[in-house]
Structure 1
């Protein structure tokens, strides 16, 4: 009898252990649910001009808080380089250019959804110098004088701020003289960096780039009517794998709270 009782006790304990393991396994199911939720997260690529970096990252953080299943991945650079990347099939859902030229080129190749295209912002072109610089200029034409040894400019073939700069110099008849002193950067943020470190005497950037740095100061704003308006167009890229989210993000930028952020960084919101 004692042996039988022992066998019964062992059997009962075995059953209890089996039940415990079963419930332990069930307890893991929420983790599996979380995993599946993670797999359903949508990655959306925001491709934007380098001058948009700070503003778009702040707005993007707001968007992700309100849309927990969306992860925004950023690609900032010169608008010309970004245009080329999109043409070559790089991941892109939303494109913000610092000039119409690059957006027009993509539109001609039917690579953007033209129905989503709109002018988002306007910026200004300014001449900056290091914060502790003693350089004194009264107008842009003095860039052609001996006061300037090195000036940082965006590469005009790919960087819109470089294109605006050359347009200004051409209209002021100083292009050839300035070219001899030019050091060309891959995007506007590189121009800003060179001026911050004093590697050049001055540089031409957007007003918004100057506004985010405490290591430079604005010496002059480009004279009126010396360049085309600095308009930033935005559109959804046709290859977007998440078109609904892309369109929603474009609309999100027009909300008052997000427009206030853009204005805080110095953009004139359309």
Structure 2
């Protein structure tokens, strides 16, 4: 006759086994401007579901090109609809999985914590011989939005020779934070994440295309865990994490 402890251990093993089998890994490629929010979401999602969430952060253009080249991404969250459009046109998204997740805004930041507010029109004069830090203006969404705004405001031609371009928006933020550039153009959410900069101006929303972050499931490996994560992005915990970092969550 089996001992009670033995029977209990066997029952527990049978009960737990399906949970272990259901655990999966989800790889998310996300825009660098989402660094802090995705850190929160990763921790909460793993705790709530038992799945492992692998988050790769970089400029949206670099991530999209990696996906085109076969990188093993399950989910892509871009800081610009254009790069999601490219992947959709290439047939690399699961049908009907794409949705608009977040909005953001564009700000001018200055080095240090005591910089005073200013008009964006003052930037060429205040910049002097210094550099304006921006993400790649023809490839990375934050840089594209920034160039569009400066062009609309009639400032791009005078500022273009003084722009220091970086691979992603967080790298532009870092240049300002360490004092290598006196000013930079980043998302409002980036400024929230860095104590070494001050927001001195906000770019008018009508000076650039709307800043929309779409999310989608990459074609090729459609799992229950991926679908669960996409639903998690629409849930209350993810919403709270995004809002803490200054994002505006688009109603679904």
Give the TM-score of the pair, scaled to structure 1: 0.81
String of CA shifts for 1:91-123, please: whole Å, max 9, x gaps: 101100001010001011110124111100000
Which residue, out of 184, 193, 197, partners 2:178? 197
Provide structure 2 residue ranges, at least 5 long, that are not aligned to the other structure.
Answer: 1-8
Residue matched to 1:213: 194
Aligned length: 237
Greater Rg by CA: 1
- Secondary structure, counterpart of 1:173 in structure 2: coil
Question: Equivalents in 2 of 1:125, 1:146: separation in Å?
Answer: 19
Stretches of 4+ moved more than 3 A in 1?
34-41
Question: Equivalents in 2 of 1:215, 1:128: separation in Å?
Answer: 10
Alignment of 1:39-54 (within 5 A): 41-54=23-36
Residue matched to 1:65: 47
C-alpha displacement of 1:36: 11
Question: Equivalents in 1 of 2:54, 2:73: separation in Å?
Answer: 9
C-alpha displacement of 1:243: 2.8
C-alpha displacement of 1:144: 2.4
Question: Equivalents in 1 of 2:100, 2:142: separation in Å?
Answer: 17
C-alpha displacement of 1:145: 2.5
Asked whether the equivalents of residues 127 and 183 of structure 2 are also in contact (C-alpha less than 8 Å), the reply is no
Residue matched to 1:18: none
Residue matched to 1:256: 236
String of CA shifts for 1:199-253, please: whole Å, max 9, x gaps: 00110000001001111110000023100111000000002x3432112111111
Q: Does 1:173 align with 2:154?
A: yes
Residue matched to 2:5: none
Alignment of 1:100-139 (within 5 A): 100-132=81-113, 134=115, 138-139=118-119
Greater Cα shift, 37-46 or 118-127: 37-46
Asked whether the equivalents of residues 155 and 184 of structure 1 are also in contact (C-alpha less than 8 Å), the reply is yes
- Secondary structure, counterpart of 1:225 in structure 2: helix
Asked whether the equivalents of residues 80 and 157 of structure 1 are also in contact (C-alpha less than 8 Å), the reply is no
After superposition, the CA RMSD in angstroms is: 2.3
C-alpha displacement of 1:147: 3.6
Which residue, out of 224, 229, 246, partners 1:266? 246
- Secondary structure, counterpart of 2:54 in structure 1: strand
Which residue, out of 225, 242, 245, partners 1:245? 225
Asked whether the equivalents of residues 46 and 75 of structure 1 are also in contact (C-alpha less than 8 Å), the reply is yes
Asked whether the equivalents of residues 105 and 205 of structure 2 are also in contact (C-alpha less than 8 Å), the reply is no
When residues 147 and 193 of structure 1 are mapped into structure 2, their CA distance, relative to the original with a 3 A threshold, is closer
C-alpha displacement of 1:74: 1.1
